[in-house]
Amino acid sequence: MSALADKLAGYLNGKMPDAAGLRVAGFKRIAGGSSRETYAFDLEWSEAGAHRARPLIMRRDPTGGLLVSSREREFKVLEAMNRAGLKVPPPLFLELDPAILERPFFIMERAPGRTSAGAFPATEPVSLRDRIAHDFIVGLARLQALDHRALGLGWLGEPAGLDGPARLQPAHWRDVYERDRMNERHPILEAAFAWLDANPVAADRIVIVHGDYRSGNYLYDDDHGIIAMLDWEMCHLGDPMEDLGWATMMFWGREELAGGLMEREAFYRLYERMCGCTIDRRRLFFYQVLGNAKMAVICLTGIRDYVEGRTSDAVMPLLEILLSPLLDDLANQLKLI
Amino acid sequence: MLRPALSEILFGIQRTIIETLAPELSSPYAQSQAGSVAMMVGFVAASMASEPALAAAEVKGLASTIRAIHKLRDPALLADPQLKAALRAARRAATSRPPDRRAMEAAIAELAKALVLGRLSDPVAKEVRGYLRANLERIRSFVAPGLFPR
């Protein structure tokens, strides 16, 4: 661990020529960000005679993990979201040269606050839960109101036509399923992809889609509500119902509370008020089905990496257990049982 | 009988991780990993005895579903070349010794796709739904020790 910290200090010395006595302090790996290695540290230095310190996070590609995604993509999205004034940790340095720390990485500010493993915890006060629910939905509405072209995010790949998202996303996740199923067949999952193909929906507009917008992916505290939205690696352009569908899946919720935050219909009504729109329930259902299928495939990807020895992360075998509620939800959604 | 039994060893390893190793770890990440390892060791200990029986029940469920669908000689199914071929392959898989589980699952996957698209007659759909229900129940009972760890 100290060898990694030393290399990081050497790298940052090169990036900050005006900094003197630069030191990486308290370098430690932290849990979460399960598709990346995530390290927290404090950077300390002197500049123009003044002592400076900054709490930072380093995220590095794993040797194997849940998803193959680009550090550069994630970093550039964070930069754009930061420019747009969204609540995200400010990104600082991106390094793609594997010679520096063996694998691409980026560094961003470490935002304060706490997060949950999944659904917003039942142990938190109701008043805080209500505030977080409001912040969560407002954050989604603000994201979906952004002009991706004005932010220079056209490189994310604009779907061809308003019916593009409903073709592209299921096709992508079906391809990942075929690659990662390890010769096993999953009838309910395959039925879900067949249903998605046979029941396409058309978006009413193309927006920036976070791709993993849910409880468990934001930092919050008692005084500020949601402080920062995390994990932008699956960001793409698509249908606004995709993020709403993902966030309101039963999998991320608790009992009748979407995301563990708010009763589902109240959640939808608040979203409609914030967006000035009416939810197309057929489209929402499509993306809730896609969400369950996508999460099941993400589990299979992690399981495959674990079985084939590309990761030793002890969280990965737990994914087998998570498949059960996902398959149950799909079977119920599609009336297969 | 030799003691400790395998499951008792695993539960003991779980206790070692929780009571002896984890308190010695200063890194929060290592503590988190130790917690995950302890949970999985407990899951294996609780589930290993049931795994062979569940696997056998799954093979039995697949084979009996395929036999039942074959007996229906459903005209709509037999008129669909893809489903007919899947059912034929499934019959061979079900009657081979030992039964070919993967081939049977492949056939059920094709039938599940047809089910969700409304291409199955009611009697065939009933058999496929029955299998899927039982399959989900078997999965649920297998992972229950992981969802509700001791």
Q: What is the pLDDT of residues A274-285, one digit of tens each?
A: 999 999 999 999
Put simply, the answer to whether B29 touches A190 (Cβ < 8 Å) is no
* B56, B93 Cβ separation under 8 angstroms: no
Mean pLDDT of chain A: 94
Mean pLDDT of chain B: 93
* A106, A59 Cβ separation under 8 angstroms: yes
* pLDDT single digits (tens) B100-133: 999 999 999 999 999 999 999 999 999 999 999 9
> Mean pLDDT across the stretch A60-81?
79
Does residue B148 or residue A217 have the better pLDDT? A217
Residue A33 has pLDDT above 70, yes or no: no
Residue B130's closest CA among B140, B122, B141? B122
Q: How far is A321 from chain B (nearest CA, A)?
A: 5
Instruction: Give residue A118's pLDDT.
Output: 86
Does residue A303 sit at the B interface (CB-CB below 8 Å)?
Answer: no
Q: What is the DSSP string of B74-126?
A: -HHHHHSHHHHHHHHHHHHHHHSSS--HHHHHHHHHHHHHHHHTT-S-HHHHH
Cβ contacts from A onto B, under 8 A: 89
Instruction: Give residue A255's pLDDT.
Output: 74
Q: How far is B62 from chain A (nearest CA, A)?
A: 12
Put simply, the answer to whether B105 touches A314 (Cβ < 8 Å) is no
Residue A25's closest CA among A11, A45, A48? A45
Global confidence as pTM:
0.94
* A95, A102 Cβ separation under 8 angstroms: no
Residue A30 has pLDDT above 60, yes or no: yes
For B132, nearest residue in chain A (alpha carbons): A337
Does residue B149 sit at the A interface (CB-CB below 8 Å)?
Answer: no
Put simply, the answer to whether A195 touches B139 (Cβ < 8 Å) is no
Q: How far is A150 from chain B (nearest CA, A)?
A: 40
Instruction: Give residue A264's pLDDT.
Output: 95
Length of chain B: 150
Residue B148 has pLDDT above 80, yes or no: no
* pLDDT single digits (tens) A258-314: 999 999 999 999 999 999 999 999 999 999 999 999 999 999 999 999 999 988 889
Q: Which of A4, A114, A196, A321 is the best mutation test for B, with the most CBs of B within 10 A?
A: A321
Q: How far is B143 from chain A (nearest CA, A)?
A: 5
Q: Which two tokens stand for residue A220?
A: 């919050």
Residue A67 has pLDDT above 60, yes or no: no
Length of chain A: 337
* pLDDT single digits (tens) A110-124: 999 999 988 999 999
* pLDDT single digits (tens) B32-52: 999 999 999 999 999 998 899
Instruction: Give residue A98's pLDDT.
Output: 87
CB interface of B with A, residues 4-63, below 8 Å: 27-29, 32-34, 36-37, 39-40, 43
Amino acid at A86: L
